[in-house]
Amino acid sequence: MTRASLELGAAPPLSCNGSPAFCNLRYDQVAYATTHNSFATTSGGWTILPAQTYSIRRQLDDGIRALMLDLHYPSAWTSWLPWGVYLCHSDCSASNYDRLGNQLREIGRFLDENPNEVVTLILENYVDPMDLLDELQSYGIFHYVHWQWRHRLREWPTLGDMIRANKRLVILDDHASDNAGDAWDIPMWSVASETNFDVNRRDELTCLPTGRGNMDNPLFLLNHFTSAPTQAMAANFNGADFIVQRARQCRVARGHMANFIAVNFHEIGEVAGAVIRINAEATFPPPSNRPPVIRKCEFGGLGGLQFDEGVRTINDRLVAVRVYSGNYIDGLTAVYERPDGQRYELAHGGQGGTPFTLELQPGETIVGVSGHAGNYVDGLQFLLSSGRPTPFFGGNGGGRFDCTFDDGYLFAGFIGRGDRYLDRLGLVGRLR
């Protein structure tokens, strides 16, 4: 402790969302533990598709910093309810609704008691912005709301700036208009993009965009839950290692860290711990003195002619891989696209066996390979950044191999040897 810190009246160092390191980071450079359908809690009596166990206040106390809320008016099924803004699924059935104001009051109390925390509301909003504004004002929370002007949607302040200004509640509204003048009501899909959310199993999770929001928007919502929430599936999804691994894959595929890690039943698993690790990787990135290009993981024999695609493909995008295979991998043809849209092919090995073309989807890239190899490459399978499963090509002779890129590197080409067959194969990577 320094002498200055002991002097009477010396202010303690500012901490932002739990860490002094975040104070100098922009809002869009930080990850936030997020709950999906935060309002639909079993403790609150929810019986239709409950997605969380505990109250919103308990979620905030547990480290959740972004809440996904659905806003509706009473429907024909609940016309007896007083007019107002409600938290519910589409029909606000009798046993499954809550007044928005009840939860705004709790959020306001949390912000009152925790002056160094920034909280985000991600709204699926079916109510008029003026009614939302009235709720925020009536429940004494509007003075916390951050304003982001439409002409500055990509210019986010640091968490430290937001905390010092006491503008610590961010409203991201999926129905807000780009042309509206209300800077407090931020249009979600003008500042964010997301991953798929219609998921029932782990192998359906991908890093692909849904079409809502451009991939180069400054914020990224990683939907990491099943559309039909259960505690059993939350246990399968919410492990810290799995969340961190997927966040890394999607950062490579999308070129942006995941900001909102959204889960069901937040107390199951380790979403808060995963977000700490994701933030640590973003705050303290690997040293920048790593080589800009790497060649790694060569497996197979030494016959055939050597090839190294990285010499010419380093700035181009892989769009497809055509594999010829039978009992071995006979050959491989990589299809690349230059920045000007022109495509070209690089072929290695022979063209015996059965051909199969693996088309890569927009935003998808190869992050690793696995298979079998001896004197030749016997079997081969590609690992994609999206998590999409791919076929296994060839046979199971030779020894098993597995190879993935180190975090921070992107696929830039193949390296190896080939003639009648694909004798040897490895990967070329470039630093992100």
Domain interval for residue 242: 13-283
415 CB burial (10 A radius; 0-12, 13-18, 19+):
buried
pLDDT for residue 407: 66
CATH value at residue 113:
3.20.20.190
Give yes or no for residue 177 having a pLDDT over 60.
yes
Output b/e per residue, 340-365; b: 16+ Cβ within 10 A. Answer: eeeeeeeebbbeebeeeebebbebbb
Domain boundary among 283, 310, 335: 283
Q: Residues 228, 305: one domain?
A: no
Q: Residues 181, 298: one domain?
A: no
263 within some domain: yes
132 within some domain: yes
Give yes or no for residue 43 having a pLDDT over 80.
yes
Domain boundary among 259, 283, 307: 283
Q: Residues 278, 307: one domain?
A: no
Q: What is the DSSP letter of 166?
A: T
For residues 318 and 315, give the distance between their C-alpha atoms in angstroms, rounded to a whole number.
10
pLDDT for residue 1: 36
Q: Residues 325, 388: one domain?
A: yes
Residues 6+ apart with CB under 8 A from 71: 85, 86, 87, 100, 123, 124, 125, 126, 127, 132
Mean pLDDT, the chain, rounded, equals: 88
- Ranking 15-19, 292-296, 378-382 by mean pLDDT, the lowest is 292-296
pLDDT, greater one: 341 or 115? 115
pLDDT for residue 5: 35
175 within some domain: yes
pLDDT for residue 3: 36
pLDDT for residue 7: 39
Residue keyed to tokens 């700490």: 276
Residues 262, 221 contacting (CB under 8 angstroms):
yes
Give yes or no for residue 6 having a pLDDT over 60.
no
Give yes or no for residue 199 having a pLDDT over 50.
yes
pLDDT for residue 11: 47
Q: Residues 297, 178: one domain?
A: no
DSSP character string of 236-304:
HH--HHHHHHHHHHHHHHHSS---EEEESSTTTTTHHHHHHHHHHHHHSPPPTTS-SEEEEEEEE-S-S
> pTM value?
0.68
63 within some domain: yes
For residues 225 and 271, give the distance between their C-alpha atoms in angstroms, rounded to a whole number.
12
Give yes or no for residue 401 having a pLDDT over 70.
yes
296 CB burial (10 A radius; 0-12, 13-18, 19+):
middle
Per-residue pLDDT averaged across 201-223, rounded?
Answer: 87
Q: Residues 308, 258: one domain?
A: no
Domain boundary among 233, 260, 283: 283
Residues 71, 104 contacting (CB under 8 angstroms):
no
Give yes or no for residue 347 having a pLDDT over 50.
yes
Give yes or no for residue 222 having a pLDDT over 60.
yes
Q: Residues 305, 247: one domain?
A: no
Instruction: Express each pLDDT in 134-176 by its tens digit.
Output: 999 999 999 999 999 888 888 999 999 999 999 999 999 999 8
5 within some domain: no
pLDDT for residue 94: 61
Q: Residues 66, 47: one domain?
A: yes
Beta-sheet strand order (sheet of 393-394): 393-394, 377-384, 366-373, 399-404
Instruction: Express each pLDDT in 279-297 by its tens digit.
Output: 988 766 555 566 777 888 8
Sort strands 192-194 and 219-223 into parallel, antiparallel or unpaired: parallel
2 within some domain: no
Instruction: Express each pLDDT in 105-128 by its tens digit.
Output: 999 999 999 999 999 999 999 999
SS3 content of the chain, % helix, strand, coil (to 5): 25, 30, 45
Q: Residues 214, 232: one domain?
A: yes
* Three-state helix/strand/coil letters over 341-388: CCEEEEEEECCCCEEEEEECCCCCCEEEEEEEECCCEEEEEEEECCCC
CATH value at residue 391:
2.100.10.30
Per-residue pLDDT averaged across 303-320, rounded?
Answer: 83
Give yes or no for residue 83 having a pLDDT over 90.
no
Provide the pLDDT confidence category of residue 251 given band limits of 50, 70 and 90. confident
Q: Residues 86, 190: one domain?
A: yes
Q: What is the CA radius of gyration of the chain?
A: 25
Could you give the number of structural domains in the chain?
A: 2
Provide the pLDDT confidence category of residue 90 given band limits of 50, 70 and 90. confident
Percent share of the chain, pLDDT over 70: 92
Q: Residues 371, 323: one domain?
A: yes
pLDDT for residue 240: 92
Give yes or no for residue 53 having a pLDDT over 80.
yes
Q: Residues 168, 250: one domain?
A: yes
Per-residue pLDDT averaged across 180-199, rounded?
Answer: 89
341 within some domain: yes
256 within some domain: yes
Give yes or no for residue 257 having a pLDDT over 60.
yes
